[in-house]
A and B are shown apart, each in its own frame.
Chain A
Amino acid sequence: MNDLARRLVTIAFEERGADHLLLMAERHGNVGPVMVEKGQDPGDARVDVPYQLVNILSNLIPFMGKAKVAIVCRRCDERALAELAKRGIVDDASIVKIGLACTKEQVERCRCSDCVPSRVDIGEPAEPCPDDTLASELSSMGTEERSAFWMRQFRKCNKCFGCTLNCPVCFCDDCVLEERTYTPEQGIPPGPAFHLIRSFHLADKCVECGECERSCPADIPLLTLRKMVNRDMRDLFGYTAGDRERRSPLLTTLDDQPLEDDGHAC
């Protein structure tokens, strides 16, 4: 157990009264997500690994009962949790958020414009990054040039579903992208429709954590695509994902009355 792990354990169990602590830790030379109870040794805590613990947490929640879980939370994790809580997938009351401020390098890697958690427990807040240069470059391109760029990128996709599996806000039980109608059963690449459909599905919930881009083995700039779509959502509805109070505009009528849809399914 390193100093950081000791600190996290103190915050989680003593200061905030959690039953479990979920963190990234190094054990026997491997870094991975670890969940510990009070008194257990988590190993050496690591916060330099950019990994979305929310994804792990939302898979564990059905088995947790009423237990209170503390989770090491970046700003993006916090917003992802807000999206999940809004749809009733996690319960706000049963989660203790330990705020982690990203370092400058991490902020730059994600081109993150909203990087300081509402409560900082660990780390020093860094300056937000102003803009995604690739996104602005693409927006100023002509249609044909932009199309050529994306088709070149999409052609590299090998349908590994890494972007979907590692996404903290992909929570549908049956993913439409696994249907034959939209993704051919055989053959790669899956075609541009794959990425367009995914963009639409994340339009009202993407928190720009960048996990899709990091997990993509083909290095498709997926985060840039997400950022472009998020900007469109801001332009169209003035909506930013990760807002705990506001319902997704795609789940309301034109006069902002909620539709009969919990937003759980694809």
Chain B
Amino acid sequence: MAYAHPHDAHAPAHAGHHEQSFFQKYLWSTDHKIIAFQYLFTGMALAMVGGFMAYVFRMQLAFPGTSVPGWGVVSPGQYNALITNHGSIMIFWVAMPVLIAGFGNFLIPLMIGADDMVFPRINRLSYQLFLLSALVLVASLFVQNGGFGGAWTAYPPLSANKNYNMTPYGATMWVLAVALEFVAFLLGGINFIVTTMNSRAKGMKAFDVPIVIWCIVIASILFMASVGPLIAGAVMLLFDQLLGTSFFNPNRGGDPILWQHLFWFFGHPEVYVVMLPAFGIVAEVMTVMARKKLFAYKTVIYTIVATGVLSFFVWAHHQFVAGIDPRMANVFTVTTVLISIPVGEMCFVYIATLYGGSIRLTTPMLWALAFLGEFLIGGVTGIYLGASGLDVFFHDTYFVVAHFHYTFFPIAIIAVFSGLTFWFPKMFGRMMNETWGKVHFWGTIIPFNFIFIPLFFLGLNGEHRRIFDYHSFPQLDTPFMHTLRVMATVSLIVMLLFQIPFIINFIVSAIRGPKADKNPWRANTLEWTTDSPPPHGNWPQAEMPEVHRRHYEYAVPGRAEDFWPQNERA
């Protein structure tokens, strides 16, 4: 017996008919667009916290022992807490909420032609749990003895034993915050996966679904399939901290390396969880702005799936020197170097999409192109680290830090700015200012490179990470090395200052930018067929869109227009 109703018209009316209070409309809403904004703004607020932390610890590195304006003198314990929480915040409380929950919530129902998510109240609950996790994390910084300082990787015995880490409350609250965040995203992921699988518009077959949605859904599946062992590990770490269990205590039969396996089995797929939505956003922007089909769209889908599957088999490249069986290291070198093939393929396909295009260098397109150019650096430097014989030298040096910032920064910042500037008209019904957009773009990209290229050279010289002051190490305490550190810090400050034009542009445009019509970019996908911003329910109930073709039909020969919306009849 089927419970699902085949005809949309039978669905009961929405609650949008009665007046809603501010609280109901903006804080207690089940509307996916509002929830998307909640995630986006929370993520952006925490990005400022994480960015401020980077400013403080880079000031300490450039001018050790001096008082940092806005903070004071940085103690060793504070330094460790700053780098730990900078990393944790940027990955779990900025990249994840913005890329997956923010863009996912906003785009999925709109791009598949649905009125909302399948479980709107669970959607609301997922944000509330996420907000709670963020509050727990921020609170952990202000408790007695300060925030947790054992790095975002939280290896025991340091993280499990308060006599070693000296931050008992901070360490426990950090684990709780991370665990809560995982539960929030498990709940959210159910919505993304089920809604995309089941609630597509009439006529939308699997390969008619836009790439960004494929990417977000596969990322959600990756997350759900990989986070379990770390949830188990987090429970075990919590119990070691609080209940005297001995999961990771070598003095009582436990094994610290177990945590590493549980962490990285999730940790590696996690970077693909955030990478895929970024690639998805860039694909949407590039195809619209170049007026081109994505080159070999089906290949891209297969590549995304292959990358996702392979990502489960590379995790121990984080543990080459950790004490694993050295024979295992060879297996993981093979898988890690080989994963460069599907990822490289994606990059090549995207570059090939530019061939034959008519490229408009709008702000969103500049960000999308910068993503490709910069991510290539991150990708190729990963090869150095996947090669086990070389990782022996580079592990835990600044080479690693530079590598992952050349991947994470494009993912969490560059692709996000591309998506925000691209979908801003749809989200807020107004256009952003192009000139200030370009100022923001160049003022971010140029300094970005001057922050992290010096770090590659520091790593080449053997400079190890997570150190608050290099005076204790004569070979690292040279004027050359120090010049590199100062260069990175100064560039960071410049880059942070250039975010101010973006914030102003964002707020001013949202309030009184030029009004945007339904489809200012002349794009094909379904979100551009409704008003900017979309009403509650996205389309009038009787006018839910139907899909008649794939979504990349740009420059179709013989047509007057160079685009062909998915819902237009043939």
Does chain A bind chain B?
A: no
> Which chain B residues have a beta carbon within 8 Å of chain A's beta carbons?
none
> Which chain A residues have a beta carbon within 8 Å of chain B's beta carbons?
none
